[in-house]
């Protein structure tokens, strides 16, 4: 971990630059509000009815979803992981996929689109968690969501518990440290927790979600994800898959990966979104008005924006180099047995399966490094992307049942409990879409693990923001000479620091990860009784009300959306 020297701001200046909300947790009993709040004096009225609480949770789903599926952080970390590649400076793609790698520039003065990669997951997920906390606090205080429909109160409680767990899960996976908060939090005693501690707290909330979802029949409102609302059964399935993710992707090193509780991963994944009635959690894009999947919009914009990194291409065709030669030489069309590449000798041009396309006209700037070059584009969600005449419209998944299959399979292999079932789970995509030779138990653990990582690289590319980065960072084996092997390039950050904007308010040192000195995975705990960041501050600082964290997240999203609609390559 590297420390960065940035001029401090006073508490009063920090107060002007960042206003926070979760201190209102102890102010919202909905029956009594004793804290004077000049910023949000109508909290009692705003959270006094069931409809208000239900709407609050709905808005929180939007913040949770948007925090990870926008082009930053998704394209930022995907290029860091050498999954997609781009020479353009937007979203930090060029800066943080530079070779050799550079340190993350954790500064509040960073350009807005890049800053989103630092702040978006932090404020978006905490906004969702704070809203969920307020909803549960209100229900505990006696608010009945709908007196005519007894299923509504347990539905909102379960939906809010899910956001607590899913939001904290994202924080634990993306950052090195953060805050653990729920409706019972004593903000006067709040300090930073390690990402492992946040992971464990997330699992507690996801377990509670699963129990609540199993106790009552309900369906989430369609507006929560601008798509068909999850049933209580589906909510439990999603919570199980996210719990499996939270454990499996938490590791930052080989040792942590080996030590992960893989038996627990199996337990969760066996009840996840590929168990029972399989489904892919999705949103419906509304042409960029609000609901947007920037990962697919730009990841599949291959004529102009991004290409599939050569490290992925050489998985499809081992005869291809895993890094583009340092010149303008055309490599030529890959040949792959995988039907998901439309140039393969078996797959041909069958558009039912062709996720990848060969295009030798490379849109990148050679002056920024030929290592950004690739002649392969991703087109699985071409109709949703900016390549389309109707971009950002239609149903797109932000999780796939195939991911749950692979988490489940990896757990089975690493615990050596059922290699035959593991092979079956792998083959759901390997054979079902790839038409490759089926995996079998006789292949052995090493070969099955290789198949699992191959499927994650090919089948899950561009689906869930950050999964390719999470997957790469937990193993080593990258060969800097041949650019083969799993893992991140040397110097690639394995997690993000607490955003500088937050640290300035906390009056703590700004730090970062990555660069030539290698990413240090140590965690520096911080916080004290007199500094609270987004959760208020004692010592006379004004306590602000709910809605401010959400407003910050909304402002970030709106600014980013406006920039995306008019943005130029940088």
Question: Residues 377-412: pLDDT tens digits?
Answer: 999 999 999 999 999 999 999 999 999 999 999 999
Please write the tens of the pLDDT for every residue from 201-257. Answer: 999 999 999 999 999 999 999 999 999 999 999 999 999 999 999 999 999 999 999
Please answer whether residues 198 and 247 qualify as being in contact, where contact means their C-beta atoms are separated by less than 8 angstroms. no
Block residue for tokens 């507006």: 223
Q: How confident is the model at residue 506 (pLDDT cuts 50, 70, 90)?
A: confident
Are 358 and 499 part of one and the same domain?
no
Q: Please report whether residue 235 resides in a domain.
A: no
Are 226 and 327 part of one and the same domain?
no
Position 477 pLDDT exceeds 80: no
Are 16 and 111 part of one and the same domain?
yes
Return the C-alpha torsion angle 423, 425, 82, 122, nearest 10: -140
CATH number reported for the structural domain that contains residue 189 in this entry: 1.25.40.890
For the residues 276-304, what does the mean pLDDT come to?
A: 96
Q: How far from chain centre, in Å, is Cα 540?
A: 36
Q: Please report whether residue 218 resides in a domain.
A: yes
Locate all alpha helices (DSSP H) within 249-326, ordered by sequence: 254-259, 262-269, 294-299, 310-316
Please write the tens of the pLDDT for every residue from 35-81. Answer: 333 334 344 445 668 999 999 999 999 999 999 999 999 999 999 99
Are 305 and 224 part of one and the same domain?
no
Last residue of a domain, one of 356, 379, 402: 379
Q: Please report whether residue 291 resides in a domain.
A: no
Q: What DSSP designation does 24 have?
A: G
Confidence at residue 293, expressed as pLDDT on a 0 to 100 scale: 97
Confidence at residue 558, expressed as pLDDT on a 0 to 100 scale: 64
Are 371 and 519 part of one and the same domain?
no
Bridge partners (DSSP) listed for residue 194 = 177
Q: What DSSP designation does 84 have?
A: E
Nearest to 212 by CA among 180, 165, 264, 262: 165
Are 12 and 109 part of one and the same domain?
yes
Confidence at residue 352, expressed as pLDDT on a 0 to 100 scale: 54
Nearest to 354 by CA among 345, 346, 342: 342
d(CA 410, CA 526): 35
Are 216 and 313 part of one and the same domain?
no
Question: What does the buried/exposed string (b/e) look like for 404-439 if buried means 16 or more CB atoms within 10 Å of the residue's CB?
Answer: bbbbbbbbbbbeeebbebbbbbbbbbbbebbbbeeb
Q: Please report whether residue 197 resides in a domain.
A: yes
Q: Please report whether residue 139 resides in a domain.
A: yes
Last residue of a domain, one of 352, 379, 406: 379
d(CA 560, CA 445): 44
For the residues 334-343, what does the mean pLDDT come to?
A: 85
CA distances from 419 to 241, 345, 408, 444 (A): 20, 30, 11, 8
Nearest to 513 by CA among 80, 12, 13, 78: 80
Q: What is the pTM of this model?
A: 0.89
Please answer whether residues 79 and 475 qualify as being in contact, where contact means their C-beta atoms are separated by less than 8 angstroms. no
Confidence at residue 550, expressed as pLDDT on a 0 to 100 scale: 55
Last residue of a domain, one of 321, 353, 379: 379
Position 28 pLDDT exceeds 50: no
Confidence at residue 22, expressed as pLDDT on a 0 to 100 scale: 46
Position 194 pLDDT exceeds 80: yes
Range of the domain at 82: 2-34+46-230+493-566
Please tell me whether the peptide bond between 462 and the residue prior to it is cis, using omega within 30 degrees of 0. no
> Is the sign of the CA dihedral 441, 442, 445, 450 positive or negative?
negative
For the residues 544-548, what does the mean pLDDT come to?
A: 37
Of the candidate ranges 140-154, 354-368, 447-461, 519-533, the one whose mean pLDDT is the lowest: 519-533
Are 193 and 312 part of one and the same domain?
no
- Domain count of the fold of the chain: 2
Q: Please report whether residue 482 resides in a domain.
A: no
Q: Please report whether residue 424 resides in a domain.
A: no
CA distances from 125 to 129, 397, 449, 503 (A): 6, 19, 32, 17
Helix (H, G, I), strand (E, B) or coil at 239: helix
Q: Please report whether residue 279 resides in a domain.
A: no
Are 371 and 506 part of one and the same domain?
no
Are 220 and 338 part of one and the same domain?
no
């Amino acid at each position: 971990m590297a420390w960065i020297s940035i001029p401090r701001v006073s508490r009063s200046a920090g107060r002007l630059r960042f206003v926070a909300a979760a201190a209102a947790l102890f102010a919202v009993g909905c029956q009594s509000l004793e804290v004077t709040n000049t910023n949000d004096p109508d909290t009692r009225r705003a959270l006094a009815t069931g409809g208000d609480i239900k709407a609050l949770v709905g808005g929180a789903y939007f913040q949770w979803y948007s925090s990870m599926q926008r082009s930053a952080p998704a394209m930022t970390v995907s290029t860091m992981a050498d999954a997609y590649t781009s020479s353009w400076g937007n979203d930090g793609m060029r800066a943080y996929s530079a070779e050799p790698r550079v340190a993350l520039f954790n500064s509040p003065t960073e350009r807005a689109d890049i800053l989103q990669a630092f702040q978006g997951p932090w404020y978006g997920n905490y906004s969702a968690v704070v809203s969920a906390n307020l909803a549960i606090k209100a229900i505990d205080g006696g608010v009945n969501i709908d007196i005519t429909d007894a299923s509504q109160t347990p539905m909102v409680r379960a939906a809010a518990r899910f956001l607590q767990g899913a939001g904290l899960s994202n924080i634990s996976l993306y950052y090195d440290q953060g805050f653990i908060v729920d409706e019972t939090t004593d903000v006067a005693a709040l300090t930073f927790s390690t990402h492992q501690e946040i992971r464990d707290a997330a699992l507690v909330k996801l377990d509670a979600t699963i129990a609540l979802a199993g106790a009552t029949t309900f369906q989430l409102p369609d507006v929560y994800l601008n798509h068909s609302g999850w049933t209580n059964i589906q909510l439990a399935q999603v919570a199980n898959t996210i719990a499996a993710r939270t454990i499996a992707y938490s590791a930052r090193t080989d040792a942590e990966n080996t030590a992960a509780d893989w038996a627990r991963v199996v337990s969760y994944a066996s009840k996840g979104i590929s168990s029972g009635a399989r489904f892919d959690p999705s949103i419906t894009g509304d042409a960029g008005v609000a609901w947007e999947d920037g990962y697919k919009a730009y990841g599949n914009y291959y004529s102009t924006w991004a290409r599939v990194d050569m490290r992925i291409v050489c998985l499809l065709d081992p005869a291809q180099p895993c890094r583009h030669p340092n010149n303008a030489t055309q490599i030529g069309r890959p040949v792959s047995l995988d039907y998901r590449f439309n140039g393969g000798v078996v797959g041909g041009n069958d558009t039912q399966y062709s996720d990848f396309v060969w295009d030798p006209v490379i849109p990148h700037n050679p002056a920024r490094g030929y290592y950004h070059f690739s002649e392969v584009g991703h087109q699985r969600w071409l109709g949703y992307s900016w390549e389309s005449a109707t971009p950002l419209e239609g149903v797109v998944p932000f999780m796939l049942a195939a991911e749950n299959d692979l988490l489940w399979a990896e757990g089975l292999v690493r615990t050596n409990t059922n290699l035959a079932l593991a092979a079956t789970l792998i083959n759901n995509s390997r054979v079902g879409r790839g038409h490759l030779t089926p995996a079998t138990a006789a292949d052995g653990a090493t070969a099955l693990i290789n198949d699992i990582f191959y499927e994650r690289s090919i089948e899950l590319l561009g689906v869930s923001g950050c999964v390719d980065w999470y997957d790469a960072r937990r193993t080593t084996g990258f060969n800097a000479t041949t650019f083969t092997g799993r893992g991140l390039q040397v110097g690639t950050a394995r997690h993000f620091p607490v955003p500088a904007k937050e640290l300035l308010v906390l009056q703590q040192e700004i730090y970062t990860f990555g660069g030539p000195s290698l990413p240090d995975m140590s965690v520096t705990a911080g916080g004290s009784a007199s500094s609270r960041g987004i959760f208020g501050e004692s010592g006379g600082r004004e306590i602000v009300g709910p809605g401010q964290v959400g407003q910050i997240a909304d402002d970030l999203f709106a600014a980013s959306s406006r920039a995306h609609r008019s943005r130029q390559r940088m």
